[in-house]
């Protein structure tokens, strides 16, 4: 399955993704994940970060932009467990407060890609023919642009900042979701239960949402988890070139990018936000991997996500 | 087979056409007058008129597109707003650095991915597998610019083994070319390698479960032969595809690693073009990236069809 | 005009042969020329790639780092006190009425192509800048004519006295002297034909190479070749210096200076620069049109913390523009941080819940740092600051269009008070984006521009500066230092307050 492959029976698609009758329920899924010890640990880490993101400011001992030139570049101590940055701000507080913007960029960006990609992929795979050709060729065009550059170009047109970063990252990941969805839809649309629904006169919309979508959910869920990991990294990369979250708002990517010049004098400035990124991204990756083992034994999403790295 | 080939080439041409329209639109999508924006405060009417005329921006849009595409097909991508030099020249100047890094990184990625992926596939759910999984997952979870900076501080500054930055031409000095290439290639290759490892593992697992493997084993062939002849070969076919896609991405320049290593490749050029609003340069670079991507994909697909005739039926 | 390219090319060949003959005797002994240079390639890491190399067209500092060594100007600022001294012109005098300046040129100067410098080249240069309305045309608004009565004499005829003409014809290489017809004969964006110590050899993506010009009229050059490499990431540039891959860099993070100076691996020097950084608010946007609001902002700022955030103790707080090393420095600092007074002023003006957009750019990362301190300072007096980081090109557009509440930026490389104050603060000034307009300040600045007596001129500028500071046309913040570092192989390099990178006398051991 490569960028332009149009044949439903490509090598990685020779089998089918989680046959409809096996569609795993949410509880079964969770059980499968918890059986995998690595994935269980990852879920716990993610849960902790979500709590931190929700509580954010209430957990932080200091404010997000409490500068104090007298306290700059202090090493970790009881007063400042993660030290202070070049403006004398408490790094622990900023890491805690930074959880929310960092996760939000990832979630919203992937949310955009998920909705747009799934709708397009569903329509293309369900109707096939001209609609399919037009939609998928458009996705191919989008896919042919290098991801980071596409994001930079989107921001050059729309301006910088967290909102535009989300849109930019979302646009970049849309074609991947469209393809994963379409490929699965192709295998499902000819199944007996879909034909049956059609024969009793169910409308297209109803068939798509009631019968097709639930049965193609597995690879999409896997792709979502992996894309979340990449989206958080992408925000860090955009922050490196100054395009991501804007100061004084503390996103982890921004803090890591700002801390890189201080690595020899004040390692704590970069190491703590860096560890936060590492933990979250690793957790999303491990979860995605475990989900894939459980849901998508033919590894379709592995190929797509490999292709999606820019 | 011929039909498949023709259809794939045809699709690529259609997509390329779409890409060219998209790239061409960049200059018209930007809010405001692109030349005015490019000039910023350096604005004066003469330079403005000259740039507009040179970029053909006073023609009707359709005429502009046809001219631009026609010129692009003959290798003329226009003139950079910022430096006044031909875009093609600017791109060609940087191509060797980008090619070196892309191929260097792919080699590193395969050196990491193939052994690691195979080892974990052969002993699934063993300690080796868990370690390999963790290592490759960790590899994808670190921002590349961070890896790059740490690599420079460790291998250049502290250990003094390798130069920190810059590109030396292969023809100029092959030894220095290689020495300068190592750090950036390892950084980029580690990330690509981590992606590939997961993939090698799963395709090897799949091949191990196939009938032919079981048959070969049942026939009593030595394990080494089974793995070498049956598993490896079959597992590597899809790996080639993913490697191809990775290569296509690397050829578009790895913007951020290039910045850190002062590697004067296409990624930095494109970034510069965005920052200085050098639209002809941006269009040229992006068009080239898309062509790279489509060509590599086409080649990989065709190779694939040759290896596995099922696809082209 | 008489030019003898062939004859001088011949002379150059002879000189080369002679040099070759000298060195023939001892191939194994390092060849020391009269310039005491031992040759070699000097490698400099600069942080950006020059956009183009036409000295009259480019505005990029990176370009001037290179051009400094390729071209010359009529006069040059002395590295110590930045007063002007002879370069291509040996002498100059001003007529009684101040309306005619006469420059006498050196007669031993050749361009890199071997042709000789004469007055026609100088006339061509200034005609090009003025007639084609290039970058620096505004500097010559009072110039009515540039003429060449004889090959070594150039006259500037002025419409009114211009006491700072030397600044206009020599403060930096943006007014470099080109040979007649250069713009037509060469592609000046990538080619050069100057009179400086080095000729432009190669311009590529990886770097720019200069080679020593044997017929240079001054002393030096002391190295055979100069290579400029572009390294934007400071950690990388510094590592390249510490490992000896490059000899020199100006891409040194301020926070590393103290430690590097202590370590002794490399030489790190700093010198107070002529630059200043400031904040300006938009007079056209209420409530920033009110003097109390601007004063409240000025009083709310913790200037020490701002300078510290900008350059880690290397920047010096200054409430006017001109640094204290300059003859033109005026000691005037009316503001001291007073949060209560600032609050009172805002209350007096009836301003509540004020949100101020503050435009900064990561082209100059210090603006982003400083903005965060300003945001924290102003929050204490009840003003919410919305920091808007823009690409520099966008930043400039917004500045030009007046689309801002406030912005942070600096002015680099000014030497004369005219450069520091005039176009920024006269009502119709081309750089008066903030929209300050005060007839009395205008009058003072206009008089100062044409006042021939230095002391009288300084008094006028001092008075104007006080009015500007009192009205907070600019809220002046600090003067930064120039920071550069080089390896122990380098000798003869001198750090300059105007950031010019002059490699004429540099040698390598």
Which of the residue ranges A73-87, A172-186, C238-252 would you say has the lowest mean pLDDT?
A172-186
What confidence score (pLDDT) does residue A16 get? 35
More confident residue, B126 or C372: C372
Closest CA of chain C from B117, distance in Å: 33
- When pLDDT is averaged across residues A227-243 and rounded to a whole number, the result is 85
What pTM does this model have?
0.85
3-state secondary structure of A261: helix
Considering only the beta carbons, identify the residue of A7, A277, A303 that sits closest to B242. A303
Phi, psi of C86 (to 5 degrees): -60, 145
B165 with C232: Cβ contact below 8 A: no
Most confident of B122-136, B169-183, B234-248: B169-183
Interchain contact A291–B (C-beta under 8 A): no
What confidence score (pLDDT) does residue C350 get? 92
Contacts of B149 in chain A (CB under 8 A): 260, 263
Q: Which of B256, B243, B304 is nearest to B105 (CA)?
A: B243
Residues C478, C276: contact at Cβ < 8 Å?
Answer: yes
Distance CA(B184)–CA(B166), nearest Å, equals 10
Distance CA(C346)–CA(C354), nearest Å, equals 9
Domains and CATH numbers, chain A: 58-65+85-309 (1.10.3720.10)
CATH 3.10.105.10 residue ranges for chain C: 276-479
B277 with C190: Cβ contact below 8 A: no
Q: What does the pLDDT look like over C58-74, one tens digit per residue?
A: 888 899 999 999 999 99
3-state secondary structure of C101: strand
State CA C350 to chain mean position distance. 42
More confident residue, C280 or C25: C280
Closest CA of chain B from A268, distance in Å: 14
The DSSP bridge partners found for residue C155 are C102, C147
Mutation to test the C interface, candidates A63, A66, A87, most C Cβ within 10 Å:
A87
Considering only the beta carbons, identify the residue of B97, B167, B262 that sits closest to C233. B262
Contacts of A278 in chain B (CB under 8 A): 138, 141-142
Contacts of A265 in chain C (CB under 8 A): 255-256, 259
State CA A217 to chain mean position distance. 16
CATH 3.40.190.10 residue ranges for chain C: 11-71+188-236+492-508
3-state secondary structure of C267: strand
Residue B239 parent element (H or E): helix B233-251
Q: Which of C229, C226, C189 is nearest to C206 (CA)?
A: C229
Please state, rounded to an integer, the average pLDDT across all residues of chain B.
82
Give A56's DSSP letter. G
- When pLDDT is averaged across residues B57-71 and rounded to a whole number, the result is 84
State CA B290 to chain mean position distance. 10
A278 with B11: Cβ contact below 8 A: no
B264 with C190: Cβ contact below 8 A: no
Interchain contact B31–C (C-beta under 8 A): no
Beta strand C316-317 with C475-479: parallel, antiparallel or unpaired? Answer: antiparallel
Distance CA(C414)–CA(C422), nearest Å, equals 11
Closest CA of chain B from A194, distance in Å: 26
Q: Which of A29, A3, A36 is nearest to A224 (CA)?
A: A29
Interchain contact C369–A (C-beta under 8 A): yes
Percent of chain B with pLDDT strictly greater than 70 = 89
Interchain contact C372–A (C-beta under 8 A): yes
Q: Which chain B residue is nearest to residue A39, measuring alpha carbons? A: B134
Task: Copy the structure tokens of residue A62.
Answer: 């200091």
Largest CA distance in chain A: 76
Contacts of B300 in chain A (CB under 8 A): 2
Contacts of A229 in chain B (CB under 8 A): 140-141
CATH 3.90.76.10 residue ranges for chain C: 75-182
Closest CA of chain A from B294, distance in Å: 7
Phi, psi of A34 (to 5 degrees): -70, -25
B275 with C393: Cβ contact below 8 A: yes
B244 with A2: Cβ contact below 8 A: yes
Q: ipTM of the predicted structure?
A: 0.83
Task: Copy the structure tokens of residue B81.
Answer: 């707003």
> Is the CATH number 1.20.1280.290 carried by domain C75-182?
no
Contacts of B298 in chain A (CB under 8 A): 4
- When pLDDT is averaged across residues B224-253 and rounded to a whole number, the result is 76
Please state, rounded to an integer, the average pLDDT across all residues of chain A.
81
Rounded to a whole number of angstroms, the CA Rg of chain C reads 25
Domains and CATH numbers, chain B: 93-265 (1.10.3720.10)
Q: Which of B192, B184, B106, B108 is nearest to B152 (CA)?
A: B184
Three-state SS string over C291-318 comes to HHHHHHHHHHCCHHHHHHHHHCCCCEEC
Phi, psi of C269 (to 5 degrees): -120, 150
Q: Which chain A residue is nearest to residue B19, measuring alpha carbons? A: A141
- When pLDDT is averaged across residues A130-144 and rounded to a whole number, the result is 88
Domain formed by C11-71+188-236+492-508, architecture = 3-Layer(aba) Sandwich (3.40)
Chains that touch B (3 or more CB pairs under 8 A): A, C
- If you search the block for the tokens 């230095």, which residue do you land on? C454
Chains that touch A (3 or more CB pairs under 8 A): B, C
Closest CA of chain A from C345, distance in Å: 24
Interchain contact C368–A (C-beta under 8 A): yes
**CA distances in angstroms from C362 to C2, C142, C159, listed in the order given:** 50, 36, 42
Q: What does the pLDDT look like over C167-212, one tens digit per residue?
A: 999 999 999 999 999 999 998 988 999 999 999 999 988 899 999 9
Question: What's the start-to-end Cα distance of chain C, in Å?
Answer: 43
Q: Which of A181, A45, A162 is nearest to B141 (CA)?
A: A45
3-state secondary structure of B301: helix
Considering only the beta carbons, identify the residue of A141, A303, A307 that sits closest to B19. A141
**CA distances in angstroms from A217 to A184, A230, B28, C273, listed in the order given:** 9, 20, 38, 63
Contacts of A262 in chain C (CB under 8 A): 255
Contacts of B157 in chain C (CB under 8 A): 239, 242-243
B137 with A241: Cβ contact below 8 A: no
More confident residue, C8 or A222: A222
Residues C260, B181: contact at Cβ < 8 Å?
Answer: no
Q: What does the pLDDT look like over C230-262, one tens digit per residue?
A: 999 999 999 999 999 999 999 998 888 988 998
Q: Which chain C residue is nearest to residue B257, measuring alpha carbons? A: C233
- Give A15's pLDDT tier (boundaries 50, 70, 90): very low
Domain C276-479: homologous superfamily in CATH: Dipeptide-binding Protein; Domain 3 (3.10.105.10)
Percent of chain A with pLDDT strictly greater than 70 = 87
Closest CA of chain A from C269, distance in Å: 19
More confident residue, C443 or B11: C443
More confident residue, C34 or B243: B243
Considering only the beta carbons, identify the residue of C255, C256, C373 that sits closest to A67. C373
B164 with C391: Cβ contact below 8 A: no
Annotate C351-395 with DSSP letters as a single string: --SEEEEEEEETTSHHHHHHHHHHHHHHHHTTEEEEEEEE-HHHH
C236 with B157: Cβ contact below 8 A: no
Distance CA(A122)–CA(A302), nearest Å, equals 20
Q: Using alpha carbons only, what angle is made at residue A304 by residues A299 and A308, rounded to the nearest 5 degrees? A: 145
Residue A289 parent element (H or E): helix A268-295
For chain C, counts of helices (H) and of strands (E): 16, 21
- If you search the block for the tokens 């640094």, which residue do you land on? C323
More confident residue, A143 or A158: A143
Which of the residue ranges A42-51, B90-99, B126-135, B209-218 would you say has the lowest mean pLDDT?
B209-218
Which of the residue ranges B136-150, C162-176, C205-219 would you say has the lowest mean pLDDT?
B136-150
Contacts of A28 (CB under 8 A, 6+ apart): none
Contacts of A155 in chain C (CB under 8 A): none
A144 with B29: Cβ contact below 8 A: no
A260 with C369: Cβ contact below 8 A: no
What confidence score (pLDDT) does residue B37 get? 64
Contacts of C135 in chain B (CB under 8 A): 42
B93 sits in the region (left: phi over 0; alpha: psi -120 to 50; else beta) called: alpha
Distance CA(C5)–CA(B299), nearest Å, equals 57
What confidence score (pLDDT) does residue B32 get? 62
Q: Which of C467, C475, C477, C458 is nearest to C417 (CA)?
A: C458
What confidence score (pLDDT) does residue C15 get? 37
Annotate B272-298 with DSSP letters as a single string: HHHHTT-HHHHHHHHHHHHHHHHHHHH
- C281 pLDDT exceeds 90? yes
Considering only the beta carbons, identify the residue of B206, B274, B289 that sits closest to A145. B289
Residues A278, B218: contact at Cβ < 8 Å?
Answer: no
Handedness of CA C308, C311, C317, C319 (dihedral sign): negative
């Amino acid at each position: 399955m490569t960028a332009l492959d149009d044949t439903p029976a490509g090598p990685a698609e020779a089998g089918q993704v989680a046959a409809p009758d096996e569609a795993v329920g949410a509880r079964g899924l969770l059980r499968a994940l918890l059986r995998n010890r690595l994935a269980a640990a990852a879920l716990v880490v993610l849960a902790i970060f979500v709590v931190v993101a929700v509580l954010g400011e209430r957990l932080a001992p200091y404010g997000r932009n409490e500068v104090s030139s007298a306290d700059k570049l202090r090493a970790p101590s009881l007063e400042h467990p993660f030290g202070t940055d070049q403006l004398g701000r408490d790094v622990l507080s900023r890491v805690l407060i930074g959880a929310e913007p960092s996760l939000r960029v990832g979630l919203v960006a992937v949310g955009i890609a998920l909705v747009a990609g799934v709708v397009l992929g569903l329509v293309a795979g369900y109707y096939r023919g001209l609609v399919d050709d037009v939609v998928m060729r458009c996705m191919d065009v989008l896919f042919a642009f290098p991801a980071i550059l596409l994001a930079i170009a989107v921001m050059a047109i729309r301006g910088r900042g967290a909102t535009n970063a989300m849109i930019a990252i979302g646009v970049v990941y849309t074609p991947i979701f469209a393809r994963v969805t379409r490929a699965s839809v192709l295998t499902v649309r000819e199944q007996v239960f879909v034909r049956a629904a059609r024969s009793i006169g169910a409308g297209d919309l109803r068939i798509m949402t009631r019968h097709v979508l639930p049965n193609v959910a597995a690879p999409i869920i896997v792709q979502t988890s992996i894309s979340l990991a990449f989206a958080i990294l992408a925000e860090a990369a955009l922050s490196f070139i100054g395009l991501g979250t804007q100061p004084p708002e503390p996103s982890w990517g921004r803090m890591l990018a700002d801390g890189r010049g201080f690595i020899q004098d004040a390692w704590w400035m970069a190491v703590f936000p860096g560890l936060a990124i590492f933990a979250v991204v690793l957790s999303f990756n491990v979860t995605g991997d475990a989900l894939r083992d459980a849901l998508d034994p033919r590894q379709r999403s592995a190929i797509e996500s490999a292709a999606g790295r820019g | 087979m011929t039909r498949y080939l023709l259809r794939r080439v045809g699709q690529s041409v259609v997509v390329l056409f779409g890409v060219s329209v998209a790239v061409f639109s960049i200059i018209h999508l930007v809010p405001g007058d692109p030349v005015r924006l490019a000039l910023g405060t350096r604005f004066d009417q003469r330079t403005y008129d000259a740039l507009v005329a040179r970029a053909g921006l006073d023609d009707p849009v359709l005429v502009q597109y046809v001219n631009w595409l026609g010129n692009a097909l003959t290798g003329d991508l226009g003139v950079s707003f910022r430096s006044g030099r031909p875009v093609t020249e600017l791109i060609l100047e940087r191509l060797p650095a980008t090619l070196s890094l892309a191929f260097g990184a792919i080699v590193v990625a395969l050196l990491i991915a193939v052994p690691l992926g195979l080892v974990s596939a052969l002993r699934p759910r063993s300690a080796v597998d868990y370690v390999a999984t963790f290592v490759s997952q960790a590899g994808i979870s670190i921002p590349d610019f961070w890896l790059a900076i740490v690599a420079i501080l460790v291998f250049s500054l502290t250990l003094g083994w390798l130069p920190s930055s810059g590109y030396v031409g292969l023809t100029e000095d092959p030894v220095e070319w290689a020495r300068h290439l190592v750090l950036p290639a390892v950084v980029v290759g580690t990330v690509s390698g981590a992606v590939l490892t997961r993939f090698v593992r799963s395709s090897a697992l799949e091949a191990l479960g196939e009938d032919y493997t079981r048959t070969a084993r049942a026939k009593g062939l030595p394990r080494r032969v089974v793995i070498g002849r049956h598993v490896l070969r079959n597992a590597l076919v899809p790996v080639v595809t993913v490697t191809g896609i990775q290569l296509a991405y690397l050829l578009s320049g790895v913007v951020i690693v290039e910045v850190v290593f002062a590697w004067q490749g296409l990624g930095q050029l494109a970034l510069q073009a965005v920052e200085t609003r050098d639209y002809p340069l941006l269009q040229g670079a992006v068009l080239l990236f898309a062509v790279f991507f489509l060509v590599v994909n086409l080649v990989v697909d065709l190779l694939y069809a040759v290896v596995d005739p099922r696809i082209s039926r | 005009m008489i030019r003898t390219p062939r004859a001088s090319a011949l002379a150059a060949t002879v000189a080369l042969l002679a040099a070759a003959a000298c060195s023939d005797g001892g191939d194994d002994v390092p060849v020391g020329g009269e310039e005491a240079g031992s040759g070699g390639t000097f490698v400099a890491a600069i942080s950006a790639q020059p956009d183009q190399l036409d000295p009259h067209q480019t505005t990029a500092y990176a370009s001037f780092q290179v051009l400094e060594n390729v071209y010359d100007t009529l006069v040059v600022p002395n590295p110590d006190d930045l007063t002007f001294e002879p370069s291509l012109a040996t002498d100059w005098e001003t007529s009684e009425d101040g309306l005619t300046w006469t420059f006498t040129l050196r007669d031993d100067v050749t361009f890199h192509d071997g042709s000789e410098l004469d007055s026609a080249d100088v006339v061509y240069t200034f005609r090009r800048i003025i007639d084609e309305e290039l970058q620096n045309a505004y500097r010559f608004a009072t110039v009515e004519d540039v003429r060449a009565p004889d090959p070594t004499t150039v006259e500037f005829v002025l419409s009114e006295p211009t006491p700072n003409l030397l600044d206009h014809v020599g403060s930096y290489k943006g007014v470099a002297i080109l040979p007649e017809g250069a713009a037509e004969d060469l592609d000046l964006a990538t080619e050069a034909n100057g009179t400086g110590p080095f000729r432009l050899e190669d311009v590529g993506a990886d770097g720019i190479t200069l080679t020593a010009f044997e017929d240079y009229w001054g002393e030096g050059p002391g190295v055979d070749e100069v290579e400029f490499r572009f390294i934007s990431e400071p950690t990388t540039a510094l590592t390249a210096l510490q490992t000896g891959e490059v000899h020199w860099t100006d891409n040194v993070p301020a926070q590393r200076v103290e430690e590097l100076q202590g370590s002794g691996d490399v030489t790190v020097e700093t010198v107070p620069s002529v630059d200043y950084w400031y904040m300006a608010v938009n007079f056209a946007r209420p409530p920033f049109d009110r003097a109390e609001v601007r004063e409240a902002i000025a009083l709310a700022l913790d200037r020490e913390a701002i300078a510290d955030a900008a350059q880690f103790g290397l920047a010096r707080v200054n409430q006017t523009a001109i640094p204290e090393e300059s003859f033109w420095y005026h000691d005037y600092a009316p503001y001291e941080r007073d949060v209560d007074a600032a609050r009172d002023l805002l209350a007096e003006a009836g301003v509540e819940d004020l949100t101020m957009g503050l435009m900064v750019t990561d082209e100059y990362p210090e603006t982003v740092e400083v903005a965060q301190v300003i945001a924290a300072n102003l929050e204490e007096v009840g003003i919410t600051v919305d920091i808007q980081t823009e690409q520099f090109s966008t930043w400039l557009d917004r500045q030009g269009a007046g689309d801002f509440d406030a912005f942070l930026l600096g002015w680099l490389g000014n030497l004369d008070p005219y450069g520091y104050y005039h176009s920024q603060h006269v009502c119709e000034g081309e750089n008066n984006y903030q929209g300050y307009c005060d007839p009395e300040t205008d009058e003072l600045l206009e008089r100062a521009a044409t006042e021939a007596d230095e002391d009288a001129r300084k008094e006028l500028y001092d008075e104007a500066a006080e009015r500007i500071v009192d009205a907070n046309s600019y809220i002046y913040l600090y003067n930064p230092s120039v920071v550069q570092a080089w390896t122990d192989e380098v000798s003869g390099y001198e750090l300059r307050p105007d950031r010019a990178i002059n490699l004429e006398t540099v040698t390598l051991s």
